[in-house]
Structure 1
């Protein structure tokens, strides 16, 4: 990817810097390096890859190659993240998850959305794990974007073998979060008495906002955030 995320610990802000020279010349993906990750990091990083793929696939921007990578990245997560979570030494599962992570990072060159727009300020202010925060935000954001993404997520559900179209996809996400021990709310994640106005302002200024299929504003983003608490 061409993006770098830098956290300013003094202002508690995450800044995204884009430049073509961030693109690596060589990428070495060795699944053996991930064998020792604890379960909650395996879950969080795996669901981060899934969030990248989902948001890229739903972004209204034009990038057919990203669409293909995002769709197959979702399939790899669906097939192999539970295996990697259950058995950290499963090298086949770890390898496919490493591929899914790389595919998600490539796919989101097409755009991200409200999941990441919220997750960035929440993580910067409250020091929550990024991928886990994405996972907590995802169900509510899918409902927030429902008017614009029912069709594309029905297509994704069909590819993934999930019955029920958009609603089936959302039910799958809920079940996967539960399966992997993801907190249901930001409060459960440890974010108590959040500064709603500050988080909303951070979300609306985040570059990820531009890729969300439903236009975000102060009113609807505040309501979305409150539904996550």
Structure 2
């Protein structure tokens, strides 16, 4: 017998052009004075100006905060919160990739709190410290198909002082409405399309490998992987393939729903590396993934047999899944080693300790020690 609590996603509007419903989505969430939060690169793009114009025309006002880094920091959240309060806003529009979405969710959380951000880190019952009535409503518009943060209840934020990524969690951080408009992803270059797509794949496969009992998340993970197998190579080859773009957006949301079952050692290492070196999270996941799977192989006999069957791979079991993953990485232009990013082994011991302490390691199918994570990291630097 089991005892579990399961939570599934927000209201989702899917379809090309549906970003024009942004003001209506705000109204449905009770938002009249939104702050649109995005990253530095996207803030000057026409899609953001169009969203601002639409909301200002229909709601009367909408302000912009576009100072989010690629790996969002506590300082980004503090600056966004200051803008939110100064403008007397009553809700947040999270618009962009996973970094912008995570920062925006953290701003929404902090809009009515009296404790510091790190007091709400996903440890034990820390989420109970938050005043749920002090969390602003949120609308999410993803422009990448990777993190799935638009349907998630968590935000990953870098603590610059401690040089570590912390996961902030609360159910009220889950957006009220997510708008999946594939047209917003058409300009994403192939390398970023591949890295974000592999992020979604990693969410699905780590959720599938998790030992946590959550049959719904298992089913969602498999569907996400089936969609990614079919559509990620297509969209990397042809970024204007609108159908494949849409399918990948949906698969990304499925990945985030699936990892309610937990993640694992890939994220434990990648989040540690992201905090230290500020590389793209999805790219780090893509590189580290096969090395962690090899280290977990002893616990994955049945899951990989089932997955190879469900994906209709030409070879069965662990080897069939690994062959597919390695070929997919190659086809998407993902480097085989961390050394290709300029990462060496000088911090190997520190990374091993950080990965072991990372919360994602708790649902890895094998409970590796710090030295074990250090070895996995070294393999990912050197190649296997």
Counterpart secondary structure, 2:200: helix
More helix by share: 1
Q: Runs of 4+ in structure 1 displaced over 3 angstroms?
A: none
Q: C-alpha distance in 2, partners of 1:123/1:5?
A: 11
Report the counterpart of residue 203 of structure 1 in structure 2.
Answer: 355
1:217 paired residue number: 369
Per the TM alignment, residue 16 of structure 1 is displaced from its structure 2 partner at its CA by 0.5
1:190 equivalenced with 2:370 (yes/no): no
Once the 2 structures are TM-superposed, how far is the Cα of residue 221 of structure 1 from its aligned partner?
1.4
Residues 194 and 78 of structure 1: is their aligned pair in 2 closer, same or farther, counting only changes over 3 Å?
farther
The superposition leaves residues 191-224 of structure 1 with CA deviations (integer Å, 9 ceiling, x where unpaired) of: 1344112211211111100110001202211211
1:149 is the counterpart of 2:295: no
Query: Could you say which structure has the greater relative contact order, defined with CA pairs below 8 angstroms and 6 or more residues apart?
Result: 1
75-84 or 18-27: which moved more?
Answer: 18-27
Aligned to 2:239: 88
With normalisation by structure 2, the TM-score equals 0.59
Residue pairs, 1:40-189, within 5 angstroms = 40-162=191-313, 163-189=315-341
- Structure 2: unaligned runs, 5 residues or longer: 1-151
Is the Cα contact below 8 Å between 2:264 and 2:360 reproduced in 1?
A: yes
TM-score normalised by the chain length of structure 1: 0.97
| TM-align CA RMSD | 1.0
Q: Aligned with 1:60: secondary structure? A: coil
Shift of 1:180: 0.7
**Could you say which structure has the larger radius of gyration?**
2
Return the alpha-carbon distance in structure 2 between the equivalents of residues 185 and 5 of structure 1: 24
Please give the alpha-carbon distance, in whole angstroms, between the structure 1 residues aligned to 2:276 and 2:178: 31
